Amino acid sequence: MAHRIPIGSFLADERGAVLVDWAILTVAVIVTGNFLFEEVAAATRHLAQDLSDTLGEIRVTGSFSDFDRYR
């Protein structure tokens, strides 16, 4: 069975290794999150522009007053 280390002694580690590990992990998560957010935002913006252009090209020939005629 593996030897268990109490969480208190892990957090009280004075060598600084735990602090450095957590700092590196925190920075990595933040940088990765920012990168993904920027990529998703750019892709969403591009998709919205394409959709807007496509919908803008559709010509509507009828109107709501023509509704009864098409029923």
Domain boundaries, given as residue ranges, for the chain: 7-69
Q: How confident is the model over 4-8, as a mean pLDDT?
A: 70
* Rounded distance between C-alpha atoms, residue 39 and residue 45, angstroms: 10
The per-residue pLDDT for 22 is 82
Please say whether the beta carbons of 18 and 11 come within 8 A.
Answer: yes
Quickly state the pLDDT bin for 47 (edges 50, 70, 90).
very high
52 vs 19: CA distance, rounded Å: 49
Q: With the C-alpha atoms ordered 6, 8, 9, 10, is the resulting torsion angle positive or negative?
A: positive
Give me the percent of the chain exceeding a pLDDT of 70.
66
Q: Which residue has the higher pLDDT, 19 or 41?
A: 41
Token duo for residue 10: 């892990």
Instruction: Answer whether residue 2 shows pLDDT above 60.
Output: yes
